[in-house]
Structures are given as C-alpha cells and as structure tokens.
Structure 1
C-alpha cells in the first residue's frame, strides 16, 4: 500500500520519488522485479538502464543467503587425465574427491569416499552441484550403481537395482536428479532409462525408454507415468537441484529447454531458453546465489553469458545479467557463494573467477575432463530414516 508523504509545503503527496523507488526495486528478486514491470511502464525497462543494472547486479551478488552459511567446497576429479598409477606407471583409472579450504584453496584434503563396488578403477560423478541435507549422491558410470553418502555421520547406502531396467542385457541409465521431498519427508532419485530388449518382434532390437523414481522410505523404485524431455547433458553442467525441484537442460528439435521436476507433486514444467542466435555451442546449468543460472558461450570465443531465470515456466523471465571475457578457458565446473565461478582451463588448470571483483584466481590444481566443484553443507541427518 502506497503511503502518504507530507511535503515541505504541508501538502500530502502519494507519490514515491523515482530515486527511492529505483533503490527499492534494485533489491528485489528477479521474479518480483519482472512482475513489478506491469505497475509502471518505465519499470519494465529498468534492466535496460546500465545504472540500474549495475545496482541490481551488485545487490544480487551481495545478498546474504543463509544456505551458504558454514558450507565448504569439494573438488571431484578424474585422475586418469593427469595422474599416474604408482604401481603400473599407466594413467590411474579412478576418481578422487578433495575438500578445499583457505583463501587460495591451498588446503586440500583427500576424502575417503565410499567405493562400495570393490573396483578402484571405476569412474564416478556427483549428481548436481550440492549436497542435500549433508547427503551426497554418487553416480557410478551411469550403470545404475548409485550410493548416498553422508560424510558427517559416515553413513552410506547402496541404492537397489531397478526391477524395470535391470533385466535386459544393454541399458543406459541416466540419473537426472537427487533431492528432498519436504512434504513427505523423503529423499528421491529421478532417472531416465533407455532399454534394449533381448528379444522383440521381427528380430529387431528396438530400444524404448521409461522414467522411474526411487524413494528412500520404501527403498524401492517405481515407474513414472510421464513423458518429459530427457537431459541433453549427462556430464558436468547439465543438472541442478534447488528447493525440492530437480532441473536439467534438454534439447529437442533444435529447441533448448529447462526441465523442472517437482519431487513432491512429481510433475514437470518446461521453460524455453531464449537466444538471439542458434550459434551458441555450449550451455551449462548452475545455481548462482540461490537462483537458476544458465552459462553459455560460443565455440572458440572468450565470452561467457550468464542469464538468470526469474520464474520457472516463463521464458521471458530469462535475464542476461552478466557478460564476462576470459582467455584460454574451457568450461565452468561449479559455482560457489559471492559470485565465485570455477572453470577448467584448456590446459586442465582449475581457476576461480569472481563476478564481483572481476578477478581470476589460480589455485594450483589440475582437474580432469569431468571435474566438478560441489558445495557441501554438513548435517547429522541420518540416511536411514524411519
């Protein structure tokens, strides 16, 4: 409700001064700012104003998010790209997980991650960029082997095989998300399976696909009656979890989408990704200061565009908020608080770029092709719940 203001001449003024309104609007979330554009026509063009955009970006980056309190960083890498097995002399074929700390990430401690499959040469990846209530989801080689791990409690749990996708001889199982359903107090996994039957009509091995979901409370998988786009990126930068929703990038018929799957309702929403050209080669999904962010760039260029999503399902709410130029950079591998974005350079060196200071920092670590930076928040929540 607009308040009345008594001016110096004693008259009542129901109008908020533009300078004050702009300061207030610059502190709003992007979703609210987009909606306020319908109040006054000039407000709908505020982000076209360089002065306002600078204010909005600064407030966006420095906004305090309690989620990041007491968080730490983990580095997941693949030793096969830069390390050597001390026994055989050949490249080591197993992954590693480090805890990073210090101003320049100089403190690095290797973590004893749970390799529960008696195979020290196995590759693995972390589902998403964050832990969920202290629990990390480890995906082994997209072969249906998944482990939930809580570093603080030293608990781990092997997820059972799916009865729907475990029988045929050749399957591709793509984990699309791990998260928490706060309504049902349950952890869930969402997965897409491409199945090649051993026998079928006319002797043709025609594949089919299905979606399935795992619930920790029942310790079981069930089929999902949905027909939604699958992820177009099964490696780093394709999946993000936030606030009970799993998000992933998808591409169908030369159109790019963000798919958002709600773990409570078990329904999905797609958001078209707007671009001015079809020549953008690379897109990476991230969570930047508790907002869904899309980092994109062209092949053989040094410019990265960072767009923030204001509202799921509203394609016009994508807003290009940052444009950065970096040399000899490959692709992003993770995002942390205060606008820190981690990149892998073309020579495998890992660096951190800060959006606020516009400075790039090397921290003396080389990462493999599928390195990841994971934001970890410790919690004593038990994996095995009643």
Structure 2
C-alpha cells in the first residue's frame, strides 16, 4: 500500500473531526442548520446531547425555526381533526409533481381522557403551531385542550367557575411580547356578552417552569353587542381576536370587534365605507392581515376581499375581487377563502370538496385536491404548558 493511500483516510477523518468541532463550537451556525429541519427530526435530536436539547428549547431557536417554517415556499401543510381525536396533517410539495403525503397523529392525551368523550373537535384554526380542541363528554359536559400536533404535547384547560350562562365560543391567540398563548371564550347575557381569558403559559418558549402564569380564567369585560354568527367565527390576526358584531339596538349595522391580547382591551373598527355590504361571509387571516370577505349578489355573484390597513383609523383597501365560473350556478355560501400563498395566489375550497388555487391575474382556478383536507398549518416546537 502506498504512503498516500495510508495517509488519506487519516486526513479525511481529521477533516470530519474539524468540521464537527467548528459546527459544535459555533452556535449561530448550528441554529442556521438545525432551524431548517422538521420538528419530527429535531425531537429525536434532543437526545443527542445536552447542548442540542438546550439549543432546540431556547426561545430564540424556537422563533427562528417557526420563522423558517412560515416562509417555506415549497411545502404547504393542512390540518384537520377526526371526531376520535386523531390529527391528520396533509403535506403538499408545491412542485411539478405536487407530491401529497398524509400523517395521522395521536396526541399524548392525559391517561383515560378520550374514554370520557363522545367526540373531539378543533376550535377555530391553528395558531402559531398550536390548536385548540373541544371535547364533548358522553353526559354532555365539555372540556378544552390545547395541543401541539408536531410534538404531540397537550394541556387540559380548567373549566373554571360555573356560571349562570353557557359558553358560546372559544378561540386561541398568541401574544409575542410575553410569549403566551391565550384561550378566549365568551358567554351571552341579556345586556350583551361577557369575555374571559386563560393564559396557557410560557414553558414551551423558555424551557422552564419559573415563569408559570396564573392558572385561572380572568374576566376581561362585558360588551353591549351581539355576535353575527352568519359572518363566520372569531379570527386571530396580528395578536388580536376579531368578530363581526352589531349593536343590540341596531342589528342592521355591523362592525369589527377587536380584542388586543397584549393590552387585553377592546376596540370597535368600522367596516369599509365604500364596500357593498350585501353579505359578510367571513373574517380571515390573509397573509398576516385582517381580511373581510364579502359576497356581492346582483345576479352575477362574486366575492370581494377587503384588507384592514390601519386599525386606529379603520382604513380598508379592496385587494381582490373574485368572479369566476365555478359552476353553472355558483353558490357563494359554498366558496371559502382560506389563505394566500406565494405569487399572491389565493387558496379556496368549493362545496367542501374541491381545494384549489385562484390566480387573480388571469381570473383562473387550478385544482390541487379533490377533497378539502383542513386548515393551513405551520409546525412549531413550542410546548403548550
């Protein structure tokens, strides 16, 4: 064997050792590399060393990882929940072949909790990687859970004090200034609605129990309005919760009610003055902005999408007008806008069966799937307790 042949393996081994040393000693480089990996892989990497476990639990890393996942241009994830409590995540690779994969996840529910329920439902849409679940007991009682589908961690939210009125709706929001998720619920009264908040906690963002929040529901106010249920459910955008409301004294006038999750204060926003408010279909998160979806019914149905540009001054801008021949007799009640993707294409589903892209430039539809698989979802490492 030649001298060169004997030396080469030693050189390669030395090079690999040097590379590992560079990576392990350079935390910024490790964050850059590891933040590009999916949560499933990172969960296994936590067992590699204490350094990697601490790194992937650090709030800066969690934020960096979630930021990259949010901006991932080639993979779209959609999530739905079965009545049995299983979570289905559909991943669509947005390339020429458009590969579709399905993962069925069973969260780490507390022991015996599923045996007590008749069914499990997802409340609202995913929020920063977490979802809110409502479980219905066989006897009719209900319980609330917050779950991270990627890590499978769950937390049961206490029912709180028994009140004279039934709770009508739940929603999950996020406050970045305190790294806290907050569950919002409200109940109807003769004089309007009462609202309560439950702070889920900071452990997932900080990896410690030292900042454990008050584990109880807190009353945040009464409002003399009525919720317009025909105009969709509560919507979380820009760390605020939103509803379409109308005054108790005038049900024909509608507004947007906003709950700031940081200040825990309410504000009423006027709807766009120039919009034809024939029928408010929904409030949605459209690329990080609050969007009002209106159905215009004048014989040739279409949808208008108005985006709120300025909260304090209630300034809206009409960004999209969807008028496409979906069928011979299009029914706008069965057409829903669920988000926006790169190149400003809108995500729609029609008749709860066809999932497609709408391209506003040429007013065309491109079918993605024949079955609508759920809500837009971006995974996160945060642990909900």
TM range (shorter): 0.5 to 0.7
Corresponding position of 1:345: 350
The question of 1:182 aligning with 2:170 is answered no
Provide the rounded CA distance (Å) in 2 between the counterparts of 1:105 and 1:296. 33
CA offsets per residue over residues 201-257 of structure 1, 9 Å max, x none? xxxxx797421111222221022234264542388x433223322222223321121
Matched, 1:122 2:122: no
SS at match of 1:219: coil
Cα offsets for 1:297-339 (capped at 9, x unmatched): 1357531111111111323x11112212122352215103323
Moved more, 150-159 or 219-228: 219-228
Corresponding residue of 1:107: 101
Decide whether the 8 Å contact of 1:68 with 1:337 is kept in 2.
Answer: no
Q: Which runs of 4+ in 1 moved over 4 A?
A: 93-96, 113-116, 140-144, 206-209, 275-279
Retained in 1: the 8 A contact 2:227–2:246?
yes
* Alignment equivalent of 1:242, drawn from 227, 237, 261: 237
Per the normalisation by structure 2, the TM-score is: 0.63
User: Do residues 69 (structure 1) and 53 (structure 2) align?
Assistant: no
Q: Per the alignment, do residues 373 and 298 of structure 1 end up closer, same or farther by CA in structure 2, a change over 3 Å counting?
A: same
How far apart in 1 are the matches of 2:168 and 2:124? Answer: 13
Q: Is the 8 A contact 1:106 1:363 kept in 2?
A: no
Alignment CA distance shift 1:348-1:263 (3 Å): same
Q: Which residue of 1 aligns with 2:308?
A: 309
Q: Within 2, Cα distance between the matches of 1:96 and 1:382?
A: 17
Contact between 1:211 and 1:223, CA under 8 Å: does it hold in 2? yes
Task: Give the superposition deviation at 1:262.
Answer: 0.8
- Per-residue displacement from partner, 1:171-214 (whole Å, max 9, x unpaired)? 24311x3222333343212211136xxxxxxxxxx797421111
Q: Quote the Cα distance in structure 1 between the aligned partners of 2:278 and 2:141.
A: 31
1:350 shift after superposition: 2.8
2:339 corresponds to: 335
Q: Secondary structure at the match of 2:377?
A: strand
For residue 229 of structure 2, give the secondary structure of its aligned residue in structure 1. Answer: coil
1: CA distance, partners of 2:141 / 2:279: 28
Aligned counterpart, 1:18:
none
Query: Please, what is the CA RMSD of the aligned residues?
Result: 3.5
Mapping for residues 1-386 of structure 1, pairs under 5 Å: 68-70=70-72, 72-76=76-80, 97-103=88-94, 104=98, 106-112=100-106, 116-118=113-115, 122=119, 124-128=121-125, 130-132=126-128, 134-140=129-135, 145-163=143-161, 166=162, 168=164, 171-175=166-170, 177-194=171-188, 209-216=193-200, 217-227=213-223, 229=225, 231-233=227-229, 237-252=232-247, 253=250, 254-274=252-272, 280-299=278-297, 301-315=300-314, 317-326=315-324, 327=326, 328=330, 330-338=334-342, 339-346=344-351, 348-355=353-360, 358-367=363-372, 372-376=374-378, 378-384=379-385
Question: C-alpha deviations, 1:6-44, integer Å up to 9, x for none?
Answer: xxxxxxxxxxxxxxxxxxxxxxxxxxxxxxxxxxxxxxx
TM-score w.r.t. length of structure 1: 0.63
**Aligned-residue offset at 1:357:** 5.8
Q: 8 Å contact 1:95–1:124 — kept in the other structure?
A: no
Asked whether the equivalents of residues 225 and 245 of structure 2 are also in contact (C-alpha less than 8 Å), the reply is yes
Distance of aligned partners of 1:225 and 1:140 in 2 relative to their CA distance in 1, 3 Å threshold: same
Contact 1:285-1:293 at 8 Å conserved across structures: yes
Residue ranges of structure 1 left out of the alignment (5+ in a row): 1-64, 80-92, 196-205
CA distance in 1, matches of 2:321, 2:90: 30
Cα deviation, residue 277, structure 1:
6.9
Q: Which has the higher contact order (CA 8 A, sep 6+)?
A: 1
Rounded to whole Å, the distance in 1 between the matches of 2:179 and 2:290 is 24
Q: Which residue of 2 aligns with 1:56?
A: none
Find the residue that maps to 2:127 and give its secondary structure: coil
Which runs of no fewer than 5 residues in structure 2 stay unpaired? 1-66, 201-212
Q: Secondary structure at the match of 2:278?
A: coil
